[in-house]
Structure 1
Amino acid sequence: MPELPEVEAAARRLRAAAVGRVIRAARTFHDAARRALPDRDAAQLAGRRVVGVRRLGKHQAIDLDDGSTLHAHFRMTGDWDVGRDDAPLPPHARVALSLDDGTRVALAGARVLDGVRGHAPGAAPEPRLGPDALDPARDGAALRAALRGRRAAVKPALLDQRVVAGGGNIYASEALWRAGIDPRTPAASLGPARVGRLADAVRAVLHDALDAPGRYQDGEALERLRVYDREGEPCVRCGAPVRRTVQAGRSTYYCARCQKR
């Protein structure tokens, strides 16, 4: 599933291609996409100028010149494909915007879960999110306040978008490894020093990923991961075998020796 670094990289590509451009036409290619963006709403996008692209956690908002907004969410497999309008559509295209300079941006995803939804002027598209994971204000004190009273283990807690907007399964495992915290530790039990290390680790692993854009399965992007998807391999810090467990239906990878409860 695309997480904050992948969504940010995609938003930057979209921003470079679309901001300042006028939408000539919008098309949808699947019933699920039409439910989110009906043909009537898609037709009304023609003539609208794109004035901004914002990332909201793992979501994106495309701001138009009349005050309306398109809310895009990649879900499991979505991504933006940027190309010429006369080129073949990418596989699994769900929504395509044709721009006035001949560029086409298409949201594509194999699982039909991603989509684009329109919001009228004055209707906020933002989902209920906590502070962004890259927000400098999301320091140890703020994170500890968000975790206070949570009985769940810290790893699932980090996946709650009301705690950390943009957090995801892969980088939560990486941040906990970097901070030396066992992912099974009850969230509310973490003291100020450990939460401070965790807040720093969350930002650090995300910044590292932004410096090496690309989906985590791809080439060098995979090499930046220290623990995720490395079950049985030696921990690069202490040499003990990396373990895997399942928390809230998601795989968690950790080192039982150097990540402490």
Structure 2
Amino acid sequence: MARSLPPEDAARLAGRDVVAVERRGKYQLLYLTGELVLVVHFRMAGDWYAGPAGDAPRHARAVLEFTDRTAVFLVDTRAFATLTVRDRGAEGLPALGPDAASPSLDGGTMARRLAGRRGPIKPVLLDQAVLAGLGNIYAAEALWGARISPYTTASALPIADLDRLVEAIRATIDVARHDPRRYSRGEALGRLAVYGRAGEPCVRCGVAVERAVQAGRSTYFCPGCQTDPTGPPEPARVVNPKLRGVRL
């Protein structure tokens, strides 16, 4: 893993019971007896797999074994995930913005978080201090759902657009909650509207999906129905003739 668990920290976990599990943004917190917390960050490709102890799957980076001979394995093909043992109340998390899945999130909250942010909206959405829990794929999908260009200046978005963006974020996360397959392993790419679909027709308007790089990350978007009201007018685009006139 990107950060190995020191042997002395692993020893502190022995004999503890897991009493609660909580998510904060992209972090998972496992609360243990003895006032300890195991802080997990899955990064891009990490995930837990349950199975019999001693039967580790490929790319297992860590294992938690239980007294009933079952285990959960932290599987990560890229070995970027991290595990950290902390005392309860001293989890050491960075400053996080409101949770992207919070029912209380609304356009007004987003406007306050984006105030003064003059960069394009897509990279800003990945800043966990602005909004916690949103990753690269979800950000691209939510912007498509809200019909917002990834190049739109973050602070220039009106409340109506931000309300629409919040609803799109919520819908994107809700779909993922009901389907545990991971995008990072290519298992669920079929349900994505734009991510990974460069050159394919947009399922909403038929214009070809484009790929760009923003802040070192891939951005997928439809230039036909994700327009930037803060930038110059978009040039005319050719709609896929097979979808012309199709009601979407």
TM interval, short-chain normalised? 0.7 to 0.9
SS at match of 2:183: coil
Which residue among 91, 106, 122 is the counterpart of 1:155? 122
Within a 5 Å distance, the mapping from 1:184-203 to structure 2 comes to: 184-203=151-170
Task: Report the counterpart of residue 43 of structure 1 in structure 2.
Answer: 11
Q: Report deviation, 1:170.
A: 0.7
- 1:114 is matched with 81
Distance in 1, matches of 2:75 and 2:174, equals 26
Q: Deviations over 1:233-255 (max 9, x none)?
A: 11111111111111101111111
CA contact (8 A) 1:54 1:61 kept: yes
Q: What is residue 137 of structure 1 aligned with on the other side? A: 104
Letter in 1 for 2:108: A
Deviation at 1:33, TM superposition (A): 4.6
Matches within 5 A, 1:33-182: 33-34=3-4, 37-87=5-55, 89-182=56-149
- Normalised to the residue count of structure 2, the TM-score between the two structures is 0.87
Pairwise CA distance, 1:101: 1.1
Q: Is the 8 A contact 1:61 1:125 kept in 2?
A: no
Change (3 A) 1:147 1:58: same
1:256 and 2:231 are equivalent in the alignment = no
Bigger RCO of structures 1 and 2 (CA < 8 A, at least 6 apart): 1
* Aligned partners of 1:59 and 1:74 also within 8 Å: yes
Aligned length: 228
Range with greater deviation from structure 2 (93-102 or 119-128):
119-128
Distance 1:218 1:91 in 2: 13
**TM-score (norm: length of structure 1):** 0.83
Deviations 1:50-81 (A, max 9, x none): 10111111111010011110001111321112
Task: Give CA deviations for 1:139-180 in whole Å, capped at 9, x if unaligned.
Answer: 110011101110110001110111111111111111111111
Further displaced range: 237-246 or 116-125: 116-125
Cα shift at 1:121: 3.4
5+ unaligned residues in a row in structure 2: which ranges? 229-248
Distance (Å, rounded) in 2 between the aligned partners of 1:235 and 1:167: 23
Distance 1:239 1:121, change over 3 A: closer
Are the structure 2 counterparts of residues 69 and 219 from structure 1 closer, same or farther at C-alpha, using a change threshold of 3 Å? closer
* RMSD of aligned Cα (Å): 1.6
More helix by share: 1
Identity %: 51
